[in-house]
Amino acid sequence: MVKSTMRKITMAVLAPAMALGATVGLAAAPASAAVWNSCDQWASTNLNGYTLYNNIWGSGAGGQCIWANSGTGWGVWADHPNTGGIKSYPNSTKWINKTIDNLGWLTSDYNVSVPSSGAYNTSYDIWDSDHDYEIMLWVNYNGAVGPIGGYQGNVSLGGHNWNVYKGTNGSNEVFSFLRTSDSNSGTVDIKPILNWLAYDKRWMAGSETISEVQFGYEITSSSGGLNFTTNNLTVNGG
């Protein structure tokens, strides 16, 4: 594991000063300066009902800075070496806290600007309250990246066509849905995907509580410094 246009802050000039977990000042900010920014490894803040998280968790990571104009308009500059393995998952989280059975609807709009180089995926990461199940929805991906587990088939759900994979990372089951065609913007109807997992495949129970919907960038490499911009993201459920 959006609809207002937010301006991007270019932070490539920070590269020489970057170190994992270090806080460095952003480049001289224009009038459209972000309301929040940080280069700390675990930097987090709450804005407009969303939790933003820098989340540099993988081994061998380089530097990464996160900025936000709001909970729905934010971005990341990252410079991670091309050494394989996921380095980070900067994301914005919306808390849901409803069971699949009691969740009437759950939708999201997204609009991103992502680089043509590097290795990453742009994805939703959806969790149950016990973190026994992880549901990833990849809306675009680039470079040497791939999902956990084996291929289960192709399905059309929530307004998109997906290739489905099922596996485990050792601590929880992972269901990955990879869009068959990359998209930088669109709407995802998440509830039919949850219904399919619970009622059609019975891979999880309808009584499971969906605690959070995360959206962000699972970055494996971004050598030289690349920008990932969430122009707009909204998650709504009820």
Structural domain contains residue 231: yes
Structural domain contains residue 52: yes
The reported pLDDT for the residue numbered 34 is: 86
**C-alpha–C-alpha distance, residues 115 and 163, integer Å:** 23
Q: Secondary structure of 102-168 in the HEC alphabet?
A: CCCCEEEEEEEECCCCCEEEEEEEEEECCCCEEEEEEEEEECCCCCCCEEEEEEEECCEEEEEEEEE
Backbone phi, psi, residue 70, to 5° = -165, 180
Mean pLDDT of the chain: 88
The reported pLDDT for the residue numbered 46 is: 97
The reported pLDDT for the residue numbered 33 is: 62
Averaged pLDDT, 190-211:
98
Asked whether residue 14 carries a pLDDT value surpassing 80, the answer given is no
Structural domain contains residue 130: yes
Structural domain contains residue 2: no
Strands 226-237 and 74-79: antiparallel
Q: What is the pLDDT of residues 201-220, one digit of tens each?
A: 999 999 999 999 999 999 99
Query: How many domains in the chain?
Result: 1
**C-alpha–C-alpha distance, residues 92 and 122, integer Å:** 12
Residue 231: which domain range? 12-237
Tell me the CATH number at 89.
2.60.120.180
Burial class (CB in 10 A: 0-12, 13-18, 19+), 36: middle
Structural domain contains residue 3: no
Q: What is the pLDDT of residues 17-75, one digit of tens each?
A: 334 443 333 433 322 468 999 999 999 999 999 999 999 999 999 999 999 999 999 99
Q: What is the pLDDT of residues 103-158, one digit of tens each?
A: 999 999 999 999 999 999 999 999 999 999 999 999 999 999 999 999 999 999 99
Structural domain contains residue 5: no
Averaged pLDDT, 182-197:
97
Burial 67-101 (b: 16+ CB within 10 A, else e): bbbbbbbbbbbbbbeeeeebbbbbbbbbebebbbe
